[in-house]
Chain A
Amino acid sequence: MSILIIQILNSLFYASVLFLIAAGLSLIFGVMRIVNMAHGTFFAVGAFATAWLVARAVALGLPAGWTFLLIPVGAGAVALLGIVIEPLLRPFYRRAEEYQLLVTFGLLLILEDVIRVVWGGLPLSADPLMDALPIIRIGGLIYPAYNLVVIAVGAVAALLLWAGIYRTKFGVMLRATSQDRRMASALGLNVGLVYVSAFAIGCFMAGLGGAIVVPTQAAVLGMGIDALILAFVVVVIGGLGSLQGALVGALIVSFVRTAGIQFFPEIELAVLYLIAVVVLLVKPTGLFGSA
């Protein structure tokens, strides 16, 4: 029984991180109609930046508990990176979609190596942050409390995003721009500002995903490329451009992966892609998406 609870918690943990990445991807696509191939790499930048900050802070004597504050800093750094990059992408909004995919793919290649230049080739970890929280007992087994924090962060982020998009004026602007850019612009909305904001928020989400996951595992080169493909699977299942889709998709992918590891260790990867293909065939816009 405890095992079941722990595997459920493991799935929720993984889903939390996936949701953050996928929601960012979906948001950017929903508002700006760009598929950002470098999105996974933004996730990686968040992980590396946070791990580096934590290591420096601890070396400078900061007590481990305070390092939690570095998580939003790491995510914020990625948002800043997004704000810097977005203007470079502007010429491509009106161009054919192919060019956007290619430019963001080029961005992926560049950022992957920038990570290496800045942080080196070896994995970076942020253990002090995770070990600052206790280990709790569940039945006869133990479980790190930090993972519960990750789950909470994911849930809170989902809530805040939903509130932000559906309950605030800014959210209205976002939705208006995503539905009809020309009309929104004609009505006086500063579309450029909306775009930058959407991109920054999307990058922040990806960076946050990296920041909260890195204490539990190290930041390694190539983590962005793996993450991107998983994020794609999530939004394919959930629907590109849909917040609920990102949430539901993340949960499905995560639980299927855990079930695969527990019961069918041989095929964990293939099952995920197959599900994506099936969904694409049956409802190509995803469970919650619209064309």
Chain B
Amino acid sequence: MKADVSRISYRPKLALAAASALVLIVLALLPPFIGLYQTQLLTYGLIAAIAALGFNILLGYTGLLSFGHSAFFGIGAYSIAFLLRDAGIHSMELYILIGLPIAALASALFGYICVRHTRIFFGILTLALSQVLYSLALKLFWITGGTDGLRVPRPTLLAGTISFTGAGAFQRFIDAYYYYVLGVFAICVVVMWVIVHSPFGKALQAIRDNEIRAAFLGLRIHRFRWMSFLISGTFTGLAGILWAPLNGLTTPDVLYWPFSGEIVFTTLLGGFRNFTGPIVGGIVFTYLKTYAVATTEYWQLLLGVVLVLLVMLLPTGIVGAISAAAKKLGPNSP
């Protein structure tokens, strides 16, 4: 994998910022045109994009494939359910403020355990840890509700100023929540962009490309990997926090290992070598899965074939393929 060497010059950056702003505006204007169901689906897509974005700092930029990210997603989702049930908290802001450190703590812990290993063992270790959580969620039904899960009714937004009750509440909630998630999504993208383009991000890529050389350069491999893991798990946990109120409930399914596989699939679909890949992947995968399930009872087959074809033919994902094509067509494309 080649490192992404970008020069610091103003033109491409300005163009990029303009393009992103445009996309954001389009996304913001969509809901009235696409209707309630599609808005809801797009919200799920944005949440998946945040999860994939977080996942990719670990895979794309640090070179570690985790098969256990469902753990952080689930921790985020269940924290909200617990905060609601045991502390009576209804405010979305508090959910994020309290849930995020919990996800961060878990990532720090899991990361500390996992980053001393690489490659296959790293993947298997993350898988095993996530399944410990899964089995606990399943068995400790008096805490977690077991297979039935826990309900997460609509929270209040903007420090309790907007709440959703009464007739038509569902519609109003989806309309408002879409923008809320869009806002958080935009912040996440900016934050992640800054991280991966910072010296820290460069160091991660150096470690990814050549661990030994990086070590010789004085980079503390385990420390950097651990921090990358921490950021990764926190972002994915944030996605889980945003997901639970939209879904209305959280169940152990979200901790089960095939869900981690979905997160990986999502990132790969968009392309893990580009910054925007996971974003595209998150949204596209959400639609892909929804329509696969609605179209055929053999949707697993469909998704499996897509995945295999992807790995065989389009290993750099959708964005990777597009940017490769763009390179061939235009002289100065980034």
Q: Which residues of A contact B (CB under 8 A)?
A: 29, 35, 37, 91-92, 95-99, 101-103, 105-114, 116-117, 225, 229, 232-233, 236, 240, 266-270, 272-274, 276-277, 280-281, 284-285
Contact = CB atoms under 8 A, between A and B. Distances in A.
A105 B301 contact: no
A284 B139 contact: no
Contacts, number: 113
Nearest to B65: A98
Given A95-B315, A284-B121, 13 more contacts: A35-B123, A101-B67, A102-B264, A103-B311, A107-B304, A110-B304, A110-B305, A110-B308, A229-B127, A233-B128, A270-B136, A270-B139, A277-B128
B169 interface: no
Contact of B119 (A97, A108, A236): A97
B301 A232 contact: no
B139 A106 contact: no
Specify which of B127, B304, B308 lies most central, judged by the most chain A CB atoms within 10 Å of its CB.
B304
A270 B307 contact: no
A95 B121 CA distance: 17
B92 interface: no
Given A112-B300, A229-B131, A270-B135, A280 B311 contact: no
Interface string B256-294: 011001001100100000000000000000000000000
Contacts of B129: 277
A97 B65 contact: yes
Contacts of B307: 102-103, 105-106, 109
A240 B59 contact: no
Nearest to B129: A277
Contact of A106 (B131, B257, B311): B311
Interface residues of B, number: 43
A81 to B, nearest CB: 15
Contacts of B306: 106
Given A97-B119, A102-B311, A269-B139, A280 B304 contact: no
B303 interface: yes
B298 interface: yes
Interface string B92-126: 00000000000000000000010011011101110
B255 to A, nearest CB: 12
Contacts of A233: 128
Contacts of B311: 92, 99, 102-103, 106
A64 B29 CA distance: 68
18 contacts: A96-B1, A98-B59, A98-B65, A101-B67, A105-B265, A106-B305, A106-B310, A108-B304, A110-B305, A113-B298, A225-B258, A229-B127, A229-B131, A229-B257, A269-B135, A276-B128, A277-B113, A277-B129
Contacts of B257: 229
A180 B121 CA distance: 20
A257 to B, nearest CB: 12
Given A102-B268, A102-B307, A232 B124 contact: yes
Across the A-B interface, give the 10 residue pairs with the lowest CB-CB distance, nearest first. Answer: A109-B304, A106-B307, A113-B301, A110-B304, A269-B135, A106-B308, A270-B135, A273-B132, A113-B300, A98-B65
A117 B300 CA distance: 11
B217 to A, nearest CB: 23
Nearest to B315: A99
A269 B138 contact: yes
Contacts of A240: 120, 124
A164 B120 CA distance: 27
Contacts of A266: 139
B69 to A, nearest CB: 14
A96 B1 CA distance: 10
B312 interface: yes
Given A232-B128, A233-B128, A274-B132, A103 B308 contact: yes
A35 B79 CA distance: 33
A29 B129 CA distance: 21
B269 to A, nearest CB: 10
Contacts of A236: 124, 128
Contacts of A91: 312
Given A101-B67, A107-B304, A273 B125 contact: no
Contacts of B67: 101
Nearest to A277: B128
A98 B264 CA distance: 10
